[in-house]
Amino acid sequence: MVKEILLGVVIAFGIFAAFLGINVTPLLFLAGAFLLFNYVMENKGLIAGSKNIIKPESEISFEDIGGQNTAISELKEALDFVINREKISKMGIRPIKGILLTGPPGTGKTLLAKAAAKYTNSSFIATSGSEFIEMYAGVGAQRVRNLFETAKNLARKEGKNSAIIFIDEIDILGAKRGTNESHHEYDQTLNQLLVEMDGIKSDGEINILLIAATNRPDLLDPALLRPGRFDRQVVVDLPDKSGRLQILKIHTKNKPLGKDVNLEKIAEDTFGFSGAHLESLCNEAAILAMRDNSEAILQKHFKEAVDKVILGEKSDRKPTEEEIFRVSVHESGHAIISETVNPGSVATVTIVPRGRALGFVRQTDKEDMLIYTKEQLEKDIMVALGGTVAELLVLGNRSTGSANDFEQAVDIAKKMVYTGLSDLGIVSKEDVPKEKVNEEVNKIIQVQEGKVKEILEGKLEVLKAIADILRKEETISGEKLRKLIGEKEVAIA
């Protein structure tokens, strides 16, 4: 509206100046330059600030989201304040202005925000924290103002009395002030967001609720997290076994499954998978079934899809015979130690190259654990060292293929030190000298390596036999591995 008025004034002034005989060419040039600049700025989203706002094409409900029952329960409790506006107004309760969703990538934070819009019958718009940051001063603040205005206008257009604004990766927009000293635009944008959140009122025509998501809440400015801004923080964590089973059922509803498919077994074998990983797993399994010209997705397709999601596509590079045998010995060492210290823990052993890995032992966690004892961590170190010790016993030397295993063992040993489970006792992570930590880590690893060596020396013939079978068959299931170990031990005895 302002642009139209200005344009009219310029045209009128130009006509009047021309009537008086004044040369209006410079004026027309300046007016044209201004309009061109304004057009470019708007199309780049530098003024409008709403070009990159996303409105979902389809509605998602909480029933469509699996593995997040606790997060959904907490979110619904907060959203009830939006639904029961009159009731909370009578009770003199201040409405919730913001909800912060935190958790690892791929756990469903965006889906929860969309489901919240349907649950509250609110208009919904989504954007990302990176959309507010530009090199031009004041642009980010303008975009924040336009974002809230756009939400109100959308709610009016749709005939709704509430709107939900979802900002993904808010740590880009809401990082602690002063961390970007050379770019004050960040701080100005954050200040404007704080002002807009303070201006959200329950007695207005449209009730605005801001939902934001991040996997780095530690980076956020304290002013954002105080009560009155983000009043609720909901943790959206990785799903447990029952949650993974629920997610698998959701993503296989529209897929033809074979009679041999056991989703509970797949959920057991996918410890640490996020919802996004599980969706990708189901999709990859369907692709593998299509490649095999199978009318249904079989259990073998899911098993291969698990490896593909973890490690990537099969490598075209063919290892030499010497490399194949070394990898077979290495993976057999991992597998035997895993079965010795944690019976029934191996899901699959393979020497099929995937990504940058020449082999892999996939373990299954029957119960998701949140805390670990010293003994359990020591067992994990032993499993990590099983491959390199096997190489040393069978081939007489080690290889660079154990580099990742060593890193894993060191990380676990450091965790033992910093949690007071080593001989150093309880230590301060900031104050304990690095040299002392390194000495204790070496000591822990040497002790566990000695235990691994003792176990594998007693099962050396079994190790060689398993490695030979693995070299020929390339992949052995956990069930077959346990059967082979039992048979070989009986034969040797």
Catalytic center residues = 331
Let me know how many helices (H) and strands (E) the chain has, helices first: 19, 8
Q: Please name the helix (run of DSSP H) or strand (run of DSSP E) that holds residue 400, with its range, or none.
A: none
Q: Which of 453, 427, 455 is nearest to 441 (CA)?
A: 427
Beta bridge partners of 168: 128
Contact between 485 and 339 under an 8 Å Cβ cutoff? The reply is yes
State the Cα angle at 261 between 260 and 267, rounded to 5°: 145
HEC string of 277-292 equals HHHHHHHHHHHHHHHC
DSSP letter at 199 equals T
Contact between 399 and 391 under an 8 Å Cβ cutoff? The reply is yes
Q: Which of 365, 366, 363 is nearest to 350 (CA)?
A: 363
Cβ within 8 Å of residue 277, ≥6 positions away: 106, 270, 309
Encode burial over 58-69: b for 16+ CB neighbours within 10 A, e otherwise. Answer: eebebeebbbbe
List strand residue ranges (DSSP E) for 136-276, in order: 162-168, 207-214, 230-235
Report the alpha-carbon distance of residue 45 to residue 38 in Å, rounded. 11
- Backbone CA torsion sign across 134, 139, 141, 142: negative
Q: In what order do the strands lie in the sheet with 346-350?
A: 360-363, 346-350, 475-477
Report the alpha-carbon distance of residue 409 to residue 414 in Å, rounded. 9
Report how far apart, in Å, the C-alpha atoms of 16 and of each of 9, 97, 423 are: 11, 53, 92
